[in-house]
Amino acid sequence: MNSDLLEIIADETQLSEKVNELAEKISSDYNGKSFVAVGILKGSVIFFADLIRKLDLCKFDFMAASSYGSSAVSSGKINIKKDLSEDVTGKDVLIVEDILDTGNTMYLLRDYIMSKGAKSVKICVLFDKPSRREKSITADYTGFTIDDLFIVGYGLDYDEKYRNLPYVGVLKPEIYS
């Protein structure tokens, strides 16, 4: 285990089992209908790569975005750093994200993709921290629900580090405080 971590909360086997479980649910819900999977950069890339290889009939695309302005203000703005390259008009879209925290980014992203004319937008997240939520938003597919802990690995970073760890662990508080 990386020495900056307190403990591992999902090892490679647990991650791969969870990805299979999510892929089965998604495949059974879309039931042979084609859809566009949109991976949110950069945190979702490893999860995204593992997940889409288990899905049928999906095209894929990426976006990079963050929310800005005070999170207490309900009309937050979205800062799009990389836009969609596919036309999603009339398409079913599945957003794939690493973690749902306050929900501010996802709330705006979902609206943004709907405003591009998508027929439907569903959300798949590997981790969820519901106790941190500031916007009323729930994912359609959730891997692990966790307490208010700062986690890294399998795409998730702190200051762009740890994304390449093949497992997910809790970062020692002294590293980020």
Does residue 141 contact residue 135 with C-beta atoms inside 8 Å? Answer: no
Say whether 101 is catalytic.
Answer: yes
The footprint of ligand IMP on residues 147-166 (CB under 6 A) is 150-152, 156
Minimum distance, C-beta of residue 98 to ligand IMP, in the bound complex (Å): 5
Minimum distance, C-beta of residue 43 to ligand IMP, in the bound complex (Å): 5
Cβ proximity to ligand IMP, 103 vs 143, nearer residue? 103
Annotated catalytic residue: which of 101, 111, 147, 159?
101
Chosen residue from 15, 22, 37, 99 binding ligand IMP by CB under 6 A? 99
Q: What secondary structure letter does DSSP report for 22?
A: H
> Measuring CA to CA, which residue among 164, 136, 129 is closest to residue 150?
129
Site string (29-48) toward Mg ion, x via CB under 5 A: --------------x-----
Chosen residue from 18, 19, 22, 43 binding ligand IMP by CB under 6 A? 43
Report residue 131: phi and psi, to 5°.
-70, -15
Asked if 112 is part of the footprint of ligand IMP (rule: CB under 6 A), the reply reads no
- How distant, in Å, are the alpha carbons of 34, 45, 97, 115 from that of 56? 8, 18, 19, 26
Minimum distance, C-beta of residue 105 to ligand IMP, in the bound complex (Å): 3
Look at strands 35-40 and 92-100 and give their pairing.
Answer: parallel
DSSP string, 27-78: HHHHTT--EEEEEETTTTHHHHHHHHTT-SSEEEEEEEEEEES-TTSSS-EE
Minimum distance, C-beta of residue 59 to Mg ion, in the bound complex (Å): 22
Chosen residue from 35, 37, 38, 104 binding ligand IMP by CB under 6 A? 104
- Report how far residue 9's alpha carbon sits from residue 11's, in angstroms, rounded to the nearest whole number: 7
Contact set with ligand IMP (CB under 6 A): 43, 67, 97-106, 150-152, 156
Residue ranges that bind Mg ion, judged by CB under 5 A = 43
What amino acid positions are annotated as catalytic residues? 101
